[in-house]
Amino acid sequence: MQRALWAHLDAHPDAPMSPRLGAALRRARAACPVAV
């Protein structure tokens, strides 16, 4: 699921998302820099 999420963000970097999801993504990126 996370891999699909990164692919979605790469394909749609300007896609609207909730602040809550944005915060979760920032935490995920910080916790797992290799996945970015």
The pLDDT value recorded for residue 27 is: 82
What are 1-36's pLDDT values in tens digits? Answer: 677 777 777 776 666 667 777 788 788 878 776 655
The pLDDT value recorded for residue 35 is: 52
The pLDDT value recorded for residue 2 is: 72
- CA gap 10, 15 in Å, rounded: 10
- CA gap 12, 31 in Å, rounded: 22
User: What residues make up the domain containing 11?
Assistant: 2-35
Structure tokens at 9: 């963000």
For the chain, the domain total comes to 1
The pLDDT value recorded for residue 12 is: 65
Q: What share of the chain is helix, strand, coil (3-state, %, to 5)?
A: 70, 0, 30
